[in-house]
Structure 1
Amino acid sequence: MECKEDEEEPLPSSPQTTTGGESAEEEQVMSEVHLGCPPFHSGSHLSHFTIYLPPRKVYDCNTGTFAGTAKGELNSTPPIFNLDEDGDLVLTRRRKPPKDQIIITIQHNITSSIPRVGLQIWRAELVLADFVLHMISMSSIFDGKIAVELGAGTGLVGMLLAHVAKTVFITDHGEEILDNCAKNVNTNAGIFHQNAQIHVRELDWKDSWPPQVAEDLQSKKSYAWTQKEIEELKKASVLLAADVIYSDDLTDAFFSTLERLMSENPEKVLYLALEKRYNFTLDDLDVVANGYSHFRSYLRDVDDAEHNELDSSSSSPCFLGKQINLTEIPKYVREYDRGNDVEIWEIKYQH
């Protein structure tokens, strides 16, 4: 990750205090992705990610294999290499990024308070970006779809999905986070396909459902929904979320929103990336990942459900989860370390 300072303001030397007489110690947290960036400055920074875009493959139903690119062109012509008189490769220095790469620029903070962690880039967000890019290159499951990114933060994953999706709603809560996300969308508009519709909208998981619609244009906030967008939101079939599991009350609100959103037709699938976070607790007298355990309590394993021949007509509604094997997902986003504690889950809602 290449960091570039956009603004420089010293971090406060003591905890922040509200002016209303209420003391609010906002502990500053920092994503491991930002290691190497200037640690003692607040404000916005720019990071540049190199993303490898492999040729899109077409699945041949007759042969059961992938062949050619998305345009049906066959990769039958071997690459041509130039050799010198000793038989060594002659390498030409490239001044521009190769055609199979893009540089995506993300504005973000290096540190933030916990309520504003959406201003940072997190590891699960980059792993989910790898997954989306892999699915785009190997299938057409996202092509022409209506998609929603929940708790989008910087909006990276939703922007990559707009490479092939018809409509992408990038959602989060809080004007500061949404402003930053909108700036990233404008900066990287060149990677979207020309007919893509991408909207940055506010979605508070603790608010009523469906999202409120402004009564008139004068009262309409920058990130408010229109009635047409609400109807389109209900038609979404692809949901995405990364690193939204870190507190139990937020996890409860997240699954409450999921239940209402995924109850709408058509059938929806959620791809959720998260990082296990371990802490020592006095109750357990051990280092445990309680937040992860609370998340898992919402899921019924797909394999277990199939093994028990779950009857959808008689069972109560539940979330079915299947963990994705990350060893099968190449790294398309350069300049970051995946670590060992990130997972991606495919989640469906059984009515």
Structure 2
Amino acid sequence: MIDKLEVIKDRFEEVGQLIVQPDAMADMKKYSKLSKEYKDLEKVVKKYNKYLEVLADIKSAKELLATEKDPDFKQMAKEEIDAKEDEKEVLEEELKQMLIPKDPNDSKDVILEIRAGTGGDEAAIFAGDLFRMYQRFAEKKGWNLTILDLTEGSSGGYKEIISTVSGDEVYAQLKFESGVHRVQRVPATETQGRVHTSAASVAVLPEMEDVEVEVDMNDIRKDTFCSSGPGGQSVNTTYSAVRLTHEPTGLVVTCQDQKSQIKNFEKALKVLRSRLYEIELEKHNAEVGAQRRSMVKSGDRSDKIRTYNYPQSRVTDHRINLTVYNLPSVVDGELDDFVEKLRIADNAEKMQQDQG
């Protein structure tokens, strides 16, 4: 571990020198990349320096204990060693966590896609509930959520709703939400009071830039049409809405939230890049093999990940066997407990793989 930390410290000092060079300051992309690396490394180096201080304190206290004759001083040295050993253990654990390879997409904004699954009208209503849950979570985090496209359900909610979420470390906190979410409750349309099970799928895709996912514009067919509001009626007379079809894969992306056709085109292209990235990622996961894929985040949209049981006010995450009995708070956007425990489970899995 010390060897790895020394390499990080050397790189931190190197980046510190590179960032003030004229060529870096003249190139905003390069400067931004170096600044981010410096900031990330700085957190580790500060923690490592603190760890080295604690090691030095333990060494000094042990030397004192070995040479000191006064019983009071010896007792003080023992207490110092015990306290510093505890601090050392905590710092070691924190540094191990920091050394786990970071997901390069963690700092990215995301494309959030929610689609009604089995359950008819109730599934669409549940998709709407999930969207509001993420909307509230985003508000609490100070993120910006923008709807790109939606298809409303006949009894409320959405058959499909696609949005972007931008802010600080969005993908890091939402990436474990991908998969099938189930709801168990009595639908408003149920006359016998029976509990039904419905489902909706959630996909969280890191937003990709053009330099990360190349898209050949010759492969894309662009169609324009008038934006539509609730019920499908046209809300303007200009052809500002954009539909992109990626002919090699058959992927179709629609965006109509902006009045400008150019802005809608740019947003639709971002969604398309993110979906193409997801396809490549799924291929990679299949090649890696099931035994090395994460149980926490397999990347498979068909995985059943969470159940929301209204009669019992219960929410269960099936990947980490976590059950809470505060459903109203969860659907109101209180997701931090799930986010943190899923992150810990994912890190533990990575550490185990690293040791294996």
Q: Verify same fold: TM over 0.5.
A: no
**Normalized per residue, which structure has more helix?**
2
TM range (shorter): under 0.3
In terms of Rg, which structure is larger? 2
Give the TM-score taking structure 1 as reference length. Answer: 0.22
